A = this chain, B = another copy of it.
Amino acid sequence: MDKILLDHGSGGKLSHLLTTEIILPFFDNTILAQLDDGAVFAIDGRRLAFSTDSYTVDPIFFPGGDIGDLAINGTVNDISMCGAVPLFLSAGLIIEEGFPMDDLKRILASMQAAAKAAGIQIVTGDTKVVPKGAVDKIFINTSGVGSLRPDIRVSSGMAHIGDRIIISGSIADHGVTILTRREGLTFDAPITSDTAPLNHMVRNMFEVSTDIHVLRDPTRGGLGTALNEIAMKSNAGIHIEEKRIPVKDAVAGLCELLGFDPLYLANEGKLIAFVPGEQSEAVLEAMKQEPFGEDACIIGEVVDEHPGKVVMTTPIGGKRIVDMLTGEQLPRIC
């Protein structure tokens, strides 16, 4: 392939290839090679997590949020998925010449509120303005640093046979919201992005069990792609049951109408956790205590079959292999 395609940014199969075959060879080191949501390292014995994400979502304002809180929550969540407590964030703004000052203030206010809700501080930043046409409105990069307890180890490569797979709530809300908004569709049913900070939930989960094996927020590429990455990295077989996966009625209806599979649509306030069977109920209960986890449920488990693959039992009892997302469902979803 001699050109970058939109699919390279899908979060799915081609993204994975771009990362592993083109980018990773240039920067090979054991920390980056983990390919988790963030990097974990120690400085003078103190374990830290560090993560970065650029946000290019279009439209920049959408039901349930905007590019500002999305950017804060996204990096808060990536650090949380390392098992760490997010503490300090950076904000890098790239703004198009002519961008309305009021829109900028609205986005900044949204970032401020999200930072407060997550309990983190934005401590450093950078603002670039580029000529009209060099960027579409505004892109935001956030990076963040968190503190990681010595006794916590989570990684996409640590799924164990017998682990129960918990999801914190309904899937595809963010993806469907952006999709419908971009297509100019409006509905009676209130469909809103699920963008939310998950750090408080994660803290409570670790209070119940430090033996959580995998934490992951299924953003770009959706639940299907995230589970595939975990299955591959852990060389583990994943079995899920379709009827247990929570999808809101309005979201399910729209996906059917428009021909999208909710398994591959982005979530921005959900996590999946792989937890040993005997601790799964306690962790599930801890999640349900949280406002962003009240619909948490167990959707499957890690099995001693089909290593590296995700298999889903359909409502009528059939079995289907869930592959990574191939092709781009929706560019600029986050």
Q: Which residues of A contact B (CB under 8 A)?
A: 1-10, 15, 18-19, 22-23, 26-27, 29, 31-32, 38-39, 41, 43-44, 46, 48, 50-54, 56, 58, 87-88, 90-102, 104-105, 108-109, 111-112, 115, 121-131, 133-136, 139, 141, 143, 145, 147, 331-332
Complex CA gap A125/B50 in Å reads 10
Listed from nearest, the 7 A-B pairs whose CB atoms lie closest are: A9-B129, A143-B143, A52-B90, A39-B123, A39-B124, A141-B141, A134-B136
- In the complex, the answer to whether A131 meets B331 with C-beta atoms within 8 Å is yes
Copies of this chain present:
2
**Residue in contact with A124 in the complex, picked from B2, B18, B50, CB distance below 8 Å:** B50
- In the complex, the answer to whether B53 meets A331 with C-beta atoms within 8 Å is no
Complex CA gap A148/B327 in Å reads 45
- In the complex, the answer to whether A145 meets B26 with C-beta atoms within 8 Å is no
Given the complex, which residues of B lie within 8 Å of A96, measured CB to CB?
A: 4
Complex CA gap A265/B133 in Å reads 24
With both chains docked as a complex, state the minimum distance between the C-beta of A134 and any C-beta of chain B, in angstroms: 4
Given the complex, which residues of B lie within 8 Å of A122, measured CB to CB?
A: 27, 29, 32
Q: Which partner residue on chain B sits nearest A85 by CB separation?
A: B43
Given the complex, which residues of B lie within 8 Å of A123, measured CB to CB?
A: 29, 31-32, 39, 41, 50
With both chains docked as a complex, state the minimum distance between the C-beta of A61 and any C-beta of chain B, in angstroms: 16
